[in-house]
Amino acid sequence: MARINAYSKLFLAVLFCFLLASAEIVAAKKLCERKSKTWSGACIMSKNCKKECKKKDHAETGECHSVNIFNRQCFCHFKC
């Protein structure tokens, strides 16, 4: 019976370490978003917005978002 108990404790310790490491990775990859300072006009294709954000705004990535029904703008994603 003591053997099963020791294995259970080891399993829980490994599981706890894995969950802690996963939380650290998610926190490190969190991105904040803001409107591109260099984009002008409507944003039709996210791939163009992404290029602009990376090249000119020095962001990690970018994509088009609908601000309202008639207006799509380029938003860049930066490390928080």
Say whether pLDDT at 10 is over 80. no
Domain that holds residue 22: 2-79
**Residues 34, 28: Cα–Cα separation, whole Å:** 18
More confident position, 40 or 8: 40
Domain CATH code at residue 9? 3.30.30.10
pLDDT digits (tens, 9 = 90+) for 16-69: 545 444 444 444 568 999 999 999 999 999 999 999 999 999 999 999 999 888
Which residues have C-beta within 8 Å of that of residue 72, sequence separation ≥ 6? 42, 43, 44, 64, 65, 66
Choose between 9 and 32: higher pLDDT.
Answer: 32
Model pLDDT, residue 13 = 59
Tally of domains within the chain:
1
